[in-house]
Amino acid sequence: MSRVRKAYTARLAGRCVIFAGCLFLFFHRREELDILQGGNFFRKFSVLHILWGIWMTDMAFQLIPVNADLALGSHKVFLKYFKPAGRQDQRQALKAYMKQAAKGAGKVFALWLALTAFMGILHQKGILDDCLLFMASAAFYVCDLVCVVIICPFRFIMGNRCCTTCRIFNWDHLMMFAPMAYIDGFYPRSLFITALAVWVIWEISVLKYPERFWEGSNMALRCSRCTDKLCPLFDRFVLKGIKKCDINL
């Protein structure tokens, strides 16, 4: 097991503990969730301030090339992690790949937008209250690393090989905090707006530096160069020997 896989497995366990803590607050300390409302973030301390800090730190790490046990899938956007393939005749192939990747990303975006809109309708009708929207985000926080460590349903929609080559790797926080966009308060809105900023920067980078996102032009993304070893458990034990690298090395 690689150091990165160990780190992500530990983070998944930590997120499960955090979600369990959020469930405890939801059922037994509902007053702690008052921090979600209006300017309550600045009026009293809650254990959720700590969670807010963790989430903000996670997003900050997606904006700077920190030397931490983070997946290359997240940091391939940075020049530091770009290893040119050295070929000059691949412009059309790169364009075709990015067009295909954009279609897959568009399907995921439409799916998540529909889910978020549905949650917004339920919130407007009073079926989902602010606390339930927060719990949805907390659940997505766990599901995010389930996709990385165990199985990722989005891969089957987009057709990408793994997290390293994933076109939408840094969409995680926007998808995670989308439900909280409907809550009127500094706590949820600050998280959603920051996640939106991270997403915009990622998408601008995709448009400006597409060569960093394709293994045909970035050798760091190839299986032979992989040090993350983050292939989901579903791949390792169920699809073993079926999925192959796209690039013939």
In a domain, residue 248? The reply is no
- pLDDT tens per residue, range 30-55: 999 999 999 999 999 999 999 999 99
In a domain, residue 244? The reply is no
pLDDT of 220 > 70? The answer is: yes
Closest CA to 230 of 72, 55, 47: 72
0.75 exceeded by pTM:
yes
Determine the straight-line distance between the first and last CA of the chain, rounded to whole angstroms.
24
Q: How confident is the model at residue 227 (pLDDT cuts 50, 70, 90)?
A: confident
Task: Spell out the residues 6+ positions from residue 153 whose beta carbon is closer than 8 angstroms to its own.
Answer: 147
> For a pLDDT cut of 70, what percent of the chain falls above it?
92
pLDDT of 241 > 50? The answer is: no
Q: How confident is the model at residue 117 (pLDDT cuts 50, 70, 90)?
A: very high
- pLDDT tens per residue, range 158-185: 988 888 999 999 999 999 999 999 999 9
In a domain, residue 53? The reply is yes
Q: Tell me the two tokens of residue 75.
A: 């940091």
State which residues form the domain around 219. Answer: 3-237
Interhelix angle 47-61/186-208, rounded to 10 degrees, is: 10
pLDDT of 236 > 50? The answer is: yes
Confidence at residue 240, expressed as pLDDT on a 0 to 100 scale: 53
Confidence at residue 248, expressed as pLDDT on a 0 to 100 scale: 37
- pLDDT tens per residue, range 1-17: 889 999 999 999 999 99
- pLDDT tens per residue, range 15-35: 999 999 999 999 999 999 999
Burial call 103-122: b when 16+ CB within 10 Å, e when fewer: ebbeebeeebeeebeebbee
Find the mean pLDDT for residues 226-235: 80
In a domain, residue 243? The reply is no
Indicate the number of domains in the chain: 1
Q: If you average pLDDT over every residue of the chain, what do you get?
A: 90
**Measured distance CA(198)–CA(58) in Å, rounded:** 11
- pLDDT tens per residue, range 57-114: 999 999 988 777 889 999 999 999 999 987 666 889 999 999 999 999 999 999 999 9
In a domain, residue 242? The reply is no
Confidence at residue 234, expressed as pLDDT on a 0 to 100 scale: 66
> For a pLDDT cut of 90, what percent of the chain falls above it?
78
Q: How confident is the model at residue 156 (pLDDT cuts 50, 70, 90)?
A: confident
In a domain, residue 249? The reply is no
Q: How confident is the model at residue 242 (pLDDT cuts 50, 70, 90)?
A: very low
Confidence at residue 184, expressed as pLDDT on a 0 to 100 scale: 95
**Measured distance CA(27)–CA(8) in Å, rounded:** 29
